[in-house]
A = this chain, B = another copy of it.
Amino acid sequence: MKRIGMLTSGGDCQALNAAMRGVVKTLLNSDEQVEIYGFLDGYRGLIYSNFQMLTGRDFSGILTKGGTILGTSRTPFKTIQDPDENGLNKVEAMKQNYYKLKLDCLVILGGNGTHKTANLLREEGLNVVTLPKTIDNDLWGTDMTFGFQSAVNIATEAIDCIHTTAASHGRVFIVEVMGHKVGWLTLNAGMASGADIILVPEIPYDIDKVIQKIEERDKNGSRFTIIAVAEGAISKEDAKLSKKELKKKMESCTHPSVSYELAERIQKKTGREVRVTVPGHTQRGGSPCPYDRVFASRLGAEAGRLILEGQYGFMVGYKNREIVRVPLEDVAGKLKYLSPDASIVQEAKLLGISFGD
């Protein structure tokens, strides 16, 4: 008999349901008796004992469904150890609920912040297995996260749409792509949609180089330029600021996001009409793409296998095309950045894409 708690935490993304279905199908197909407790809205459900008993039926037909049937919430790691507004010790509450329900294990699906908390619970003695969920693909210890490829598809489709308008009007178009502090999503969507300039956080850009590329294209008869900008992209000047100075600068900024400031600078320097599009939250929604459905199902199956084997304290990851088990303590608190020297960056440059560096 296995009693499993399950929760999804952080921003939602595609294939969360597919991954959970994978875990549950694997458990139910085993000889083991299984009880599944679904905690609602992330860690909050575990803290306040808000859960539902789930059966195989609840996981049927959700392979292709976006979002998460358990609901999710952002519970920042920074505050998880603080007492809540009623003075409740949240970590203690989670432990108590875990023991009260006599759980054998918690299955936790989430991104960076989620993994820090998961590791904390592991350190506190709870059995934990995690799954790497994020459209940002920034989790350390795995080559790939689910949600990423689906988000690439949506961002690419957005830039594809913009392409026809940009070409028809002869404009400079900036499309702001998600990805938090890393450039994976922007780079892939930019390459897939034939962006001319790609700006990512890991490669601070020189505005003059950006403008130079636009003007080069003008000279070669290309009427338009498409710029894919990561939401975390940063200019060379800003990259030199201290964290404090940067924060101050951003607070005083009236632009809703990084793209608008960039647009203004390009417009001023070139006199060209520049437009900004921000696909925003659409990037984390909708049905997962086939790649993510297969990938999340496989990770989920392996998580199920870990539980059946009684192996806890691991994130299920993906390394060199193999499903692997990564110790949670190795994952927590680390970001997987795109290296400016990565092979994919070099190939993008061979194709003539400018990174503004």
Is the pair B29, A351 in contact by a Cβ cutoff of 8 Å? yes
Among A45-53, A202-210, A275-283, which stretch is in contact with chain B? A275-283
A7-42 contacts to B (CB < 8 Å): 8, 11-12, 14, 16, 22, 25-26, 28-29, 41
Q: How many A residues are at the interface, by size bracket?
A: 35 or more
A192-225 contacts to B (CB < 8 Å): 192-194, 223
A124 proximal to B (CB < 8 A):
no
A320 proximal to B (CB < 8 A):
yes
Per the bound structure, the CA–CA distance linking A71 and B164 in Å amounts to 10
Per the bound structure, the CA–CA distance linking A343 and B290 in Å amounts to 18
Contacts of A192 in B (CB 8 A): 290-291, 293-294
Is the pair A291, B165 in contact by a Cβ cutoff of 8 Å? no
Of A14, A256, A300, A304, most B-chain CB atoms within 10 Å: A256
A162 proximal to B (CB < 8 A):
yes
Interface 1/0 per residue, A151-171 and B, CB below 8 Å: 011101110111111011110
Number of copies: 4
Is the pair A286, B157 in contact by a Cβ cutoff of 8 Å? yes
Is the pair A12, B71 in contact by a Cβ cutoff of 8 Å? no
A254 proximal to B (CB < 8 A):
yes
Contacts of A165 in B (CB 8 A): 11-12, 66-67, 281, 284-285
Is the pair A12, B168 in contact by a Cβ cutoff of 8 Å? yes
The minimal Cβ–Cβ distance linking A336 to chain B, given in whole angstroms, is 13
Say whether chain A's binding surface is mostly helix, strand, loop, or mixed: helix
Known interface pairs A67-B168, A320-B320, A344-B298. Does A163 touch B26 (Cβ–Cβ under 8 Å)? no
Contacts of A298 in B (CB 8 A): 191, 343-344, 347
List 9 additional A-B contacts (Cβ < 8 Å) besides A154-B161, A279-B282, A301-B347.
Answer: A12-B169, A14-B164, A16-B168, A26-B350, A161-B286, A164-B285, A275-B281, A320-B321, A323-B347
**9 sampled A-B residue pairs with Cβ under 8 A:** A29-B350, A66-B164, A67-B167, A161-B286, A191-B293, A191-B294, A192-B294, A277-B280, A322-B343
Which 7 residue pairs spanning A and B have beta carbons closest together?
A161-B285, A67-B164, A66-B164, A192-B290, A12-B168, A67-B168, A161-B286
